[in-house]
Amino acid sequence: MVDVRVSKLAKLVVKYSTEVRDGDEVVIYSRPIATPLAREIFRETLRAGGNPLLILSDDVAEEIFFKEASEKQLKHVSPIRKAIVEKATVIISIYSENNLRMLNTIDPEKLRIAATARTEIVRILREREARGELRWVLVPYPSPAMAQEAGMSTLDFEDFVYKACYADSEDPVTAWKKIHEEQERYVRFLNKVKELHFIGPGTDLVVHVEGRKWINADGKKNLPDGEVFTSPIEDSANGVVVFTYPVLYQGVEIRNVKLKFKDGIVVEAYASEGKEFLRKILETDEGARKLGEVAFGTNYNVKKFTRQILFDEKIGGTIHLALGMGFPETGGKNFSVIHIDMIKDMKEGKVFADGELIYENGKFLI
């Protein structure tokens, strides 16, 4: 029998996050380990009148690809994958892994080449989304490997995931609608702000956001959700920021990251572990040294750092900044094949908006 929380999560994805309608072409990406959730999403899609296509991918096959592929194969853009992002009206991606460190031993240069090759796919997805032609969501399904990465037991991690998504509530859709209303107050205020000044341990950073649109992340793109974000003006970041939690990218852990910005560009980068990998990230392309995002985490049901960005960027009482790709829907103009979130705990921090204290000790004062 399917866990009732899995059924509720599937209904939330189909009815609320993607609003599947009659005739929608719905692509569901999943690992085999997440089949129980994939099946329920498939079922709910049919009930909503959509046309579901379930695609299962194998994590070991992905590892084999990066170990065996030639440079020509790494650069190849599958016309089938391209056709999917050109034709689908809804894409639902289930995040669930058997091994979160499977790419640890892969040459970072191979990962960079493959990421660069996907530039065209990313552009198509972003452009279709901006035109309202494509809806998508990323949703988790708990696995033992994910639980182990988070330092939790399997059952405790299941409870954590479903609570973070509000799938354990009586009516998850109503719960997320209430979250939308609360975060909309923050968005309305921030849309009038010109300058944000972040102050905290090791941090004194100013970014400009005038004219940029803030987004209410309320369960439509990610589950769990719970953040408000925008793309800062590309040449505006000045100062220094120290991140509380390790930065995890492509299975590599980078610790105690400290970045110094001048006129929007990272001019100094420090890490106690993974410094060389951080340097390579910053050299990925021209946009990799610029900020593509500034955000406040607002999901206070996410209380623990899990080493999985889908959860960690939502931690209530944090901010996160992302190097790389900006968001066109916010007015962001920075382009990069990377988008790497870095998280700072603000329980001992303050944020000023145009000189006014608006956020202190992990809470908005608005």
**pLDDT per residue over 60-78, tens digit each?**
999 999 999 999 999 999 9
Name the nearest CA neighbour of 243 among 328, 320, 315, 350: 320
Distance CA 206, CA 238 (A): 5
Beta strand 135-140 with 90-95 is parallel
Amino acid (1-letter code) at residue 4: V
| Percent above pLDDT 70 for the chain | 100
Which CATH homologous superfamily contains domain 4-168?
Thermophilic metalloprotease (M29) (3.40.1830.10)
CB 53 within 8 A of CB 27: yes
In the predicted model, what is the mean pLDDT of the chain? 95
CA distance 274 to 281: 11
Each domain of the chain, given as residue ranges in start order, spans 4-168, 175-364
Identify how many contiguous H helices and E strands the chain contains and give both numbers. 12, 19
Q: How many residues does the chain have?
A: 366
pLDDT band at 249 (very low <50, low <70, confident <90, very high): confident
For 100-146, what is each residue's pLDDT tens digit?
Answer: 888 878 887 888 899 888 888 988 998 898 889 999 999 999 999 99
pLDDT band at 96 (very low <50, low <70, confident <90, very high): very high
* Tokens representing residue 57 in the block: 């991918």
- pLDDT, position 104: 78
Residue 294, pLDDT above cutoff 80:
yes
Q: For the chain, where are the alpha helices, taking DSSP H only?
A: 4-11, 35-47, 59-68, 71-75, 79-87, 108-117, 119-130, 144-150, 154-164, 172-190, 275-282, 309-312
Nearest CA among 288, 136, 293 for reference residue 214:
293
Q: How far is CA 242 from CA 6, 125, 185, 272, 338, in A?
A: 38, 32, 28, 12, 20
pLDDT at 150: 94
pLDDT confidence of residue 111: 86
Task: Express each pLDDT in 170-203 by its tens digit.
Answer: 999 999 999 999 999 999 999 999 999 999 999 9
Predicted TM-score (pTM) of this structure:
0.86
